[in-house]
Amino acid sequence: MAEGLRRVEFPLRVEHLTKRFWQGGAVIEALRDVSLTIKQGEFLAVMGPSGSGKSTLLHLMAGLTKPDEGHVWVDGQDLTVMPDRVLSRFRRRRIGVVFQAFNLIPTLSAKDNILLPLLADGQAKQAEKVLPALLERLDLSARASHLPDALSGGEQQRVAIARAVITEPSIILADEPTGSLDSVTGQSICRLLKELCREQGRTIVVVTHEPAVAIWAERIVVLRDGRIPTSFFTAQFRDLHQLAAHYQDVVEVMPEEARQ
Amino acid sequence: MKAVWKLGTAYFLRHPLRVCLTSLAIVAAACVVVWVVSGYDAVVAQFGEHAAEYLGHYDFFVVPEDENYAYLSAEIINALEQDPLVAEVAAVSQTPVRLINPNAGGPMSGGPLMFSGRSMQNGPRRDSKSASGAIPNRPPRRPSDATGGDQQAQGRGGPPDARSGGRPFFFRTPMLVGTDAPHPPYPLAEGVWLDPDLPEQRHGVLTKSLAEQLGVKPGDEVLVIFGPKEFSLKVVGIVEQGAMPMGMMMGAGATYGTKPNAAPTGLAAGPANAALYVSPFLAEKFTRGTAKINLINIKLKEPSSSSHLKQFRERWELRLADVHPAASLLGAGDLKAGMEESMPATNARRQAWAATGLSLLAALFIIFATLSMGVSERVRQFAMMRAVGLTRGQIAALIFVEGGLLALLGWAGGLAAGWGLLLLAAKAQPALFPNGVALGYRCLLFTGLAAGGGALAAAILPAWRATRVRPLDAMTPRQTPMPALRGLMPAAVIGLILIVINPLLVFVIEATDAARYALFEALGCTSMSVGFLLLAPAAIVLVEKLLGPVFARVLGLAPQLLRMQLTGNLWRTVGATAALCVGLGLFVAIQVWGYSMLQPFVPGDWVPDALIAFQMGGLPDVEIDAVRKSEGIIPEKCLPLAVEQPKLAEDLTGSRRHASVTRQDNVIIIGLDPLTAFGGSDPLLKVRFVQGSAEDAVAKLSQGRYCIVPDHFLSATGLKLGDRFALLPPEHPNKPVEYTIVGAVSLPGWHWMTKFSGLRRREGRSAAMVFAGYEQVRQDFELRQINFFWTSIDKNVGVDRVGKLLQPIAERNLGERQPVNPQGTWSFAARMFGPSIRITTPDDVRERILARAEAMIWAMSRLPLVTLLITSLGVVNTVMASVRARQWEFGVLRAMGITRCGLARLILAEGLLIAVIACLLSLGFGVLAGWCGTGISQYVSFFGGMDTPLLIPWMQLAMGFGITMGLCLLAAVWPAESAAFREPLSLLQAGRAAL
């Protein structure tokens, strides 16, 4: 386990989460009564078709928005009752977030982007000690001073991952981290996340609609229409195709009328 | 075009807030123009009415044009009477006189109503109150010269000169008008008109304003004083006469301040506003035969016929110019034209143009910033438009359409809002609008020029940028490279070269005054403004680089977060900064120019503690010691002064060509003990010798006709040390006395020290204060008595006590009031002790001049500050756009853990950085413009000619900079609040949608 990681049995827990959105006068329930528990060091994938609520679940877990009902517990702290100032600090220190694309601040170098959470905390100086090793680990040493527009998609995403881990957070949340990448680069990102989980005992939650990404996780939670109909472990599948077939079965369960 | 129109209006509907903010700023700018230009419209709207009032019963008048022969020949009168179009010809003489109401008692009133600016007339004085501003009398120096009032002042013998008629300055001189017209020229208010069949009857008719001033009505008696003689007559009627149209006295024909001895010609020779009408017989008698016909009033048979008017004018205009003496024909049109050129109208016109210019610039930069933002945000849209087939011209037209729509909204809104505000203000405070309010064609034109002109100019660069977008940019997102300082250097270098042009034109290049001023206006100011504009991008990059980290630390932010905050969209920042600089730069320039120009007029440390004047009578030599020994006076630092104000024998300063504060036809010569004044280690007058030395000067002054002059006197005259110049003693103008210059000193503030102290004995203005030996001056100018002392005062006693203690000395030496300029009698302008003692201290003068100057400078600064306020709306727009463009980035920052407060401080920092850049650019522009302004003033301003060191009033500038920082901070509050209080997810989603 990485130095500085806090050992908590269930670093992430959501209970009875419900989130509604207003869209053109109608109320859309993106999530309905979702509960989920994630163990320390677990690599979890959240899958589901477009509009299933998976990104909404991730955003709630990251404290980027508040649920209409339910709670989110990170390291035993309920995010839903935290004031914004406290939540911001908490997110800065305990939660690492990786977005799909346009992750980085275009006017900051790769190094400054990585240090961003620590800059916000006024602790950039301390990170200087661990930064070289992290850059080395992510194969970014030669690109540290470059601006994002000078980096490839894969390099940008690696910078985003470095930024997510620099504060030794309790959890890392990645929203479609390979969505803007080609398949080869995407696989390298997944491998990197897996290594971080295995080598450093990091708890990682990845949202994806791609089975090729989800297979890297230990457990897959499927979301459909804002609910979790099922979850399963990837170890039970022989290969990607089997996994993909099972996933298709889960998400494409049709109503009786449609079969006739 | 339809597609362009549709795209433009769709963009507007998509960004209502931006459109509102931009339009609001243009509305405000247009409001300023409406406010100022309507004042001009109101002034002009009255010209027709004023002209008709002034003409009265008549349609034309004929006036002399030759100042050397200011009368009209009988030949013209006869010819006019023969003209078939003419119904009536009334030839009148107008001669300045003094009028007294013998039954009024108390202060002398009615005349001369105010100082005529040139001559002192003899005559008894009833009282010594100075507040009426009546000309004080001088005792006749030679009894045999009591033949004419002007004579003594002019120092020449002979009868009063009819040419010199006491031309009207600011104030009106009563005129004795000899007329045999059967009808009054203006409607009768009371009584009856003169009977032309009884010319010898001692009857007179007064104009209403004069009657009110004298306090007389029909049946009362008035005394007419001309020279030493008095004549009494009975007032039989009063005519209504409207006030002379504003500016008539300083109209095209007036000669104020330029030719002191010229007779009135042109408009200035028109019908007198303060008149006593008598028969020609009485006029001849009262003026002892010197009254001459100098005005002919003409009434046509059919004045309403335009063809008759035109015919008459065509027939007589050229003919009158050819006769001798030359004359000119003036009608309603000429009066109106004269009023257009009058100072109030000219000032109103200048203000109108200034307001329009400022508003145009403000509108230009605000619209520029808005259009630039739009172009930067829509690069991919433009690429798609190009990809689907729109031409470059259509893209450019789109930008112009957007700019035009913004201008139209601003113009219409500004007119409506401005007019509404004016009506409200005129209703609430009618006293503020003496000319009323009017929305004439000028308002429409000037506001349209400001809004439309600004929009057109503002759209050029954004339109060009938009046309640079390639269709391929729609496929791949184009990364806009961040501007590097190196890339902006060429523009900065060109900017610096352009900036240097103005100082070169003003201070280095040899040219005539007129050519220099024309170049300054047309080329210098423009090149300097463009130069600073070209410097702006580099300034933005530099400030962000150098001051960004400082601001970050002050605001508790990571310095990296402020990097490229402004340069991320450089043109948007340039627009907002330039808009702020329009008002702020002008404010700085006015403050620097004003306080620098003020410097030479503020009494310096050389002035002793007190200048004591004995204004009634004078002190014989035996009393000088009594003054010295008076409590509070430091005896060894008390100097009696022998003072006179003689004319220069030659026009050394060029006053006839171009009068100014240093170019006049006389000097104030002060005879004093040179050793006490300038010698030793602690002289009374601690002057700085610019040429020569104190030791040499002290030695020479004791030996004869040697003098010390102010440094500007040498510049104005071209004289140098060792040169001589001649002065004309008033008592013996035919016997000039020559003085040799042995030293030149710096004398800041001598003008104002002499203005109120009584030192100006003969004239309202003087070219220099000259020091010479005490005995020599007394001898040359026959000064038997002493009226002035310069002295140090014991601070423990104080000036007030000294004044009281000197009163007994004054009382036992009372006599006739000494000649003095009117300001030297104003009771508020110095400390009076009894009727005679007047004490002027440098502290009092400084306080007065600084208060007055500060009020004037701040009045001039109002418009620029209003412009600054308006352009701060542009900053709101800029910061809002910046926030909008970076929503996704802000969402990421919030996701990373930046607090709301941290995000808000980041956005506020952007507003503050824009303010700092504007302050720095404005400081540079303003100081340079102010400095060049003081330089050009030497050549064209009445107040030029003095050595004017550059003074930067930091306290006043700090106020302007503080206002700017405050406005920009305020402008950033709303955008900061709107971003900071959104959920991080909301920012991410909105930002992604924008991308």
Q: Are A18 and A227 in contact (CB under 8 A)?
A: no
Report the chain B residue with the minimal C-alpha distance to residue A113: B560
Task: Return the SS3 of B56.
Answer: coil
Q: Do B888 and A102 touch (CB under 8 A)?
A: yes
Chain B: give the shortest CA distance to residue A154, in Å.
Answer: 17
- pLDDT score at B394: 82
Does residue B131 register a pLDDT over 60?
no
What pLDDT sits at residue B125? 32
Q: How many CB atoms lie within 10 A of CB B433?
A: 16
What's chain A's length in residues? 260
Q: Pick from A194-208, B97-111, B467-481 the range whose average pLDDT is largest.
A: A194-208
| Predicted confidence (pLDDT) at residue B827 exceeds the cutoff of 80 | no
**Chain segment B608-664, per-residue pLDDT in tens:** 999 999 998 899 999 999 999 999 999 999 999 999 999 999 989 888 777 788 888
Based on the number of CB atoms within 10 Å of its own CB, is B181 exposed (0-12), middle (13-18) or buried (19 or more)? Answer: buried
B895 touches chain A (CB under 8 A): yes
Residue B736 pLDDT more than 70?
A: yes
Q: What burial class does residue B765 get, using C-beta atoms within 10 Å of its C-beta: 0-12 exposed, 13-18 middle, 19+ buried?
A: buried
Q: Per-residue pLDDT tens for B568-621?
A: 778 888 888 988 998 999 999 999 999 998 988 899 999 999 999 999 889 999
Nearest to A84 among B479, B889, B900 (CB): B900
What's the one-letter identity of residue B491? A
Residue B666 to residue B762: CA distance in whole angstroms: 9
For A1, which DSSP code?
-
Which residues contact residue B802 at a Cβ distance below 8 angstroms, ignoring those fewer than 6 apart? B610, B612, B630, B631, B632, B633, B793, B839
In angstroms, the separation between the Cα of residue A128 and the nearest Cα of chain B is 15
pLDDT digits (tens, 9 = 90+) for B464-516: 888 888 766 655 555 555 566 778 889 899 999 999 999 998 889 888 888 88
Higher pLDDT, A78 or B362: A78
Please give the torsion angle defined by the CA atoms of residues B582, B584, B586 and B588, in that order, rounded to the nearest 10 degrees: -160
Residue A231 is predicted with a pLDDT of: 92
- Using DSSP's 3-state secondary structure scheme, residue B128 falls into coil
Q: Tell me what the mean pLDDT of segment A131-136 comes to.
A: 90
Query: ∠B452-B453-B454 over CA atoms, to 5°?
Result: 90
Residue B678 in this model has a pLDDT that exceeds 50: yes
Q: What pLDDT score was predicted for residue B317?
A: 84
CB atoms B897 and A97 under 8 Å:
no
Check: CB of residue B756 under 8 Å from CB of residue B611. Answer: no
Query: What is the secondary structure of B57-117 as a DSSP string?
Result: T-SEEEEE--TTS-S--HHHHHHHHH-TTEEEEEEEEEEE-EEE-TTT-SS--SSSSS--S
Burial class (CB in 10 A: 0-12, 13-18, 19+), B106: exposed
Other C-beta atoms lying within 10 Å of the C-beta of residue A77: 15
Long-range contacts of B698-702 (CB under 8 A, 24+ apart): B698/B674, B700/B740, B700/B742, B701/B674, B701/B742, B701/B771, B701/B772, B701/B773, B702/B674, B702/B675, B702/B773
Q: Choosing among B482, B545, B560, which should be mutated to test the A contact, i.e. which has the most A CBs within 10 A?
A: B560
Do B896 and A163 count as a contact with CB atoms less than 8 A apart?
yes
> Which one of A28, A102, A165 would you mutate to disrupt binding with B, by most B Cβ within 10 Å of its Cβ?
A102
B747-795 residue pLDDT tens: 999 998 898 898 998 877 899 999 999 999 999 999 999 999 999 999 9
DSSP H or E stretch at residue B539: helix B525-555
Q: What is the pLDDT of residue B669?
A: 97
pLDDT of residue A258: 45
**Average confidence score pLDDT of chain A:** 87
Q: Are B175 and B287 in contact (CB under 8 A)?
A: no
Cα of B960 to nearest chain A Cα, Å: 33
Local structure of residue B470 (DSSP, 8 states): -
DSSP tag of B263: P
Chain A: residue whose CA lies nearest to B480: A149
pLDDT, tens digit (0-9, with 9 covering 90-100), for A93-120: 899 988 877 678 777 889 988 888 887 7
C-alpha distance from A153 to closest chain B C-alpha (Å): 14
Lowest mean pLDDT segment, chosen from A221-225, B312-316, B657-661, B792-796: B657-661
Q: Using a CB-CB distance cutoff of 8 angstroms, which residues of chain A are in contact with residue B570?
A: none
Per the prediction, chain B carries an average pLDDT of 82
pLDDT for B513 equals 81
C-alpha–C-alpha distance, residues B632 and B801, integer Å: 8
Q: Give the pLDDT confidence score for residue B110 in this predicted structure.
A: 38
The per-residue pLDDT for B483 is 62
Q: Which of residues 116-135 of B touch A (CB under 8 A)?
A: none
pLDDT of residue A241: 92
Question: Please, are residues B705 and B780 in contact by the beta-carbon 8 Å criterion?
Answer: yes
pLDDT tens string B216-248:
999 999 998 887 778 899 999 999 876 565 555
Instruction: Note the pLDDT of residue B256.
Output: 36
| Percent of chain B with pLDDT strictly greater than 90 | 33
* Side-chain half-sphere CA neighbours of A10 within 13 A: 12
CA angle B887, B890, B894 (to 5 degrees): 140
Name which of B557, B896, B983 to mutate to probe chain A: the one with the most chain A Cβ atoms within 10 A of its Cβ: B896
Contact check, Cβ <8 Å, A116/B896 = yes
Contact at CB, B902 and A120, closer than 8 angstroms: yes
Contact: B561, A149; criterion CB under 8 Å: no
Q: Letter for the amino acid at B938? A: Q
Query: CA B142 to CA B145: how far, in whole Å?
Result: 6
Give the type of residue at B30.
A
Q: A84 to chain B nearest CA, in Å? A: 7
Work out the average pLDDT over B882-901: 87
Q: Give the number of C-alpha atoms closer than 13 A to the C-alpha of residue B887, restricted to the C-beta side.
A: 22
- ipTM summary value: 0.73
Whether the Cβ atoms of residue A32 and residue A88 lie closer than 8 Å to each other? no
Give, for B969, the enclosing helix (H) or strand (E). Answer: helix B954-980
Inter-chain touch A108–B899, beta carbons under 8 Å: no
Query: pLDDT (tens digit, 9 = 90+) per residue, B952-979?
Result: 999 999 999 999 999 999 989 988 998 9
| Chain A residues touching residue B910 (CB < 8 angstroms) | none
Find the farthest-apart pair of alpha carbons in chain B and give their distance in angstroms, rounded.
106
Using a pLDDT cut of 70, give the percent of chain B over it: 87
Q: Would you call A84 and B563 a contact, using CB atoms and an 8 Å cutoff?
A: no
Q: Tell me the C-alpha distance between B329 and B60, whole Å.
A: 7
Mean pLDDT, rounded, for B863-889: 85
Residue of B nearest to A62 (CA): B895
Instruction: Output the pLDDT for position A235.
Output: 92
Query: Which residue has better confidence, A49 or B131?
Result: A49
CA distance B529 to B532: 5
